[in-house]
Amino acid sequence: MTTSSPSLRRHSALTPDLRVAIADVYSQVRADLLDHPNYRVDVFLERLERHAAEPGWALVMACAPDGEVVGYAYANSIGPGDRWWKRLTVPPVPRFTAQDTAAVKEIGVIPPYRGAGLARRMHDVLLDGRTEPYVTLMVNPAAGDGKVLRLYEGWGYRQIGAVKPLPESPWLVCMGRCVRV
């Protein structure tokens, strides 16, 4: 863990430079998973492009004092009929699907900057000012031997279902909470 506090920058459009920076961070964050089909960088970049074209897309980048990008988080809006909800193993609580919901699609922090609250800072800045009343995310329950799931529970998220987005994907836990807690 490093002691310097990264600055956070908000973006509402995916530029080529941001795409490259996110891909670099992603490849460090997911280094031990890149040989799995769902985690390959090219597959991630396809998802990133698709997500960035969806309504309400927003990005927060974390930059070290020297300008190095050390983390990112992004989200978009999903509507009541979005495939996010349709793929769940059980129908979600209606309050999540009755109106648009913010969906945190990715949070990534490179190893030297983990453990100092950076992911939470990016998450909170990402949600600041959003108009949706609820937020949802999906997490691999095995990530960090369950630490990531417990981290999100500590942020107020509760499990609302499970999903296997693609045949080559792991099972994910879908979680939700109020945007403002």
Burial of 7 (0-12, 13-18, 19+ CB in 10 A): exposed
Amino acid 128 reads D
pLDDT, tens digit (0-9, with 9 covering 90-100), for 116-137: 999 999 999 999 999 999 999 9
Residue 3 has what pLDDT? 58
Beta-bridge partner residues of 61: 9, 72
Residue 92 has what pLDDT? 86
How do strand 134-139 and strand 101-109 relate by DSSP bridges? Answer: parallel
3 state DSSP class of 121? helix
Whether the per-residue pLDDT at 2 is higher than 80: the answer is no
Whether the per-residue pLDDT at 30 is higher than 70: the answer is yes
Nearest by Cα to 29 from 82, 87, 69, 80: 69
Domain ranges of the chain: 7-178
35-55: average pLDDT: 91
157-179: average pLDDT: 92
SS (H, E, C) 31-76: HHHCCCHHHCHHHHHHHHHHHHCCCCCEEEEEECCCCCEEEEEEEE
Is domain 7-178 given the CATH code 3.40.630.30 in the classification? Answer: yes
pTM (two decimals): 0.93
- Euclidean distance between CA atoms 73 and 61, whole angstroms: 7
pLDDT, tens digit (0-9, with 9 covering 90-100), for 58-115: 999 999 999 999 999 999 999 998 999 999 998 888 988 999 999 999 999 999 999 9
Whether the per-residue pLDDT at 168 is higher than 90: the answer is no
